Amino acid sequence: MPTEKWIAGSGQGLTYGDAFSTATLNSIASGNAILSDLAITNGTALDIFADVSINLASAAFSSPNFIGIYLYPLNKDASTYGDGRFGSSAAGPPGSSYQNKIISILATTAVQMGTAVGFILPPGTFKFVFYNSGGVALAGSGNTCQYRTYNRSIA
């Protein structure tokens, strides 16, 4: 009987790498979203899955208390991602037609961490969109969002 298991992706692989540059997420207002400044190319590696992990500096988080992560594919025009919104921080959330995951955070003043698992990656190029619904602007520094990739193997 075949055995199915996870294997490291050929692109980013199982070691987390930046989904956003460090300063991109600083001071994002609650209710705002921003498109990553880093494009992820999956045209050669053709990885199938990704997890996205956040580490947010301490702030007075309150209800509603979650972070939304969206996947915006590069459109046929080869310059616009998704619906073309959020090149700079702007009122969100992104449209529901884009693949998204929610990371719950606590309504407290503390560092927040969490991971959204199982994004299905498109072949080609894409960017993530970060939506802050933490009830407060993110801290002015120390916020990160990273991703890793993997596939399934049947042996």
Split at pLDDT 50, 70, 90, the class of 97 is: confident
- pLDDT > 90? residue 1: no
> What domain range is 84 assigned to?
4-154
Domain count, the chain: 1
**pLDDT (0 to 100) of residue 133:** 97
The pTM for the full model equals 0.95
Q: Two tokens at 93?
A: 């959330």
* CATH code: domain of residue 11: 2.60.120
Rounded Cα distance, 74 and 83, in Å: 10
Beta strands in the chain, from DSSP E residues, in sequence order: 4-8, 17-18, 32-35, 40-42, 49-60, 66-73, 90-91, 100-104, 109-120, 124-133, 144-154
Residues 108-128: tens digit of each pLDDT: 999 999 999 999 999 999 999
- Name every residue whose Cβ is closer than 8 Å to that of residue 97 and which is 6 or more positions away in sequence: none
Mean pLDDT of the residues in the chain: 96
